[in-house]
Structure 1
Amino acid sequence: MTRFEADTPRERRKLFADAVVAHRNRGSAFLTIEADRNPDIDGEGPGPWIQFAEETFNMDVTDEELDRLKDLLSEFPDFRIDQLESPDEAEGTNIKITARSDANRLAGFADRVFQAVYDRDDDYNAWVCAI
């Protein structure tokens, strides 16, 4: 892979799909995608991130984001929440979603998570930070 950043829906999905393929080909532990930080949404914290490993997405969400994620999953019936963990010291929930699919479908899901769950605009900027 030579590109690590994209800011249009088509380019982001291509980037994410390429990252999934690279992750699988390299047998890496996981891949991480991050989106721009939006101070109006994220406050002073970092922007949202998604990790993918083997057949599992991992992400942190607030209660409102969790509701939006559950709504989004109705568009991806072959994906399912396998684990919800809300430690007392954390302000949100860590979620693991099993997603057995091809790279393009996984990329489409990741892009929709940033938009539908994390409330990013259509032109948000995303990076593949680790493969």
Structure 2
Amino acid sequence: MTRFDAATPEERRKLFVAAIDAHRERASPYATFEAHEDVRADDEDADDRLPPWVQFGDGTLNLDCTDKELDALKSLLGEFPAFKIDDLARPEEAEGVNVRVSALADPNRVAQCIDAVFRDVYGQPEEFRAWVAAV
């Protein structure tokens, strides 16, 4: 990989595909994608949160979200029938829920879903900057 960030929908999806391919070629545990900053302003704790992130590894998406974001994720997955929620974990020491979604699809479709998660679940604007934080 030579690029690690992108800010338009088309370029972000290309970036996500490249990172997924690199992750698979390297047999790394996962690839992590992060929004440049947290633009969610729906609660008073927004200043204390890290930017939203999504991990992909072994055919699974992993992400943390609030209950409201979980509802948005469930709705979004209706557009991606090959993606199913496999596990919900609510650790006592953390707010929100950790979600594992089976993502048994080609890298292009996974990239489309990841981009949609950032936009529709985390409320990122169309031109948000995404980073590949780990491959």
* Per-residue deviation, 1:89: 1.9
Determine whether 1:84 maps to 2:88. yes
Unpaired segments ≥5 residues, structure 1: none
TM (normalized to structure 1)? 0.96
Give the whole-Å Cα distance in 2 for the aligned partners of 1:89 and 1:128. Answer: 27
What are the Cα deviations for residues 87-127 of structure 1, in whole angstroms up to 9, with x where unaligned?
A: 12211000000011111000000000000000000000000
Query: RMSD in angstroms over aligned alpha carbons?
Result: 1.0
> What residue number does 1:75 align with?
79
Give the distance between the partners of 1:33 and 1:79, measured in 2 at CA: 18
Question: Aligned residue pairs: how many?
Answer: 131
Q: In the alignment, does 2:29 pair up with 1:25?
A: no
Is 1:104–2:113 an aligned residue pair?
Answer: no
2:36 corresponds in structure 1 to 36
2:123 paired residue among 116, 119, 122: 119
Tell me the amino acid that sits aligned with residue 105 of structure 2. S
Q: TM-score, normalised by structure 2?
A: 0.94
Query: Secondary structure of 2:79's match?
Result: coil
Q: Secondary structure at the match of 2:133?
A: strand
Q: How far does residue 39 in structure 1 lie from its aligned partner after superposition?
A: 5.2
Measure, in 2, the Cα distance between the counterparts of 1:93 and 1:38: 17
Write the distance in 2 (CA, Å) between the matches of 1:40 and 1:80.
25
Whole-angstrom CA distance in 1 between matches of 2:99 and 2:48: 22
Say yes or no: does 1:64 pair with 2:103.
Answer: no
* Stretches of 4+ aligned residues off by more than 4 angstroms: none
- 1:49 is aligned to 53
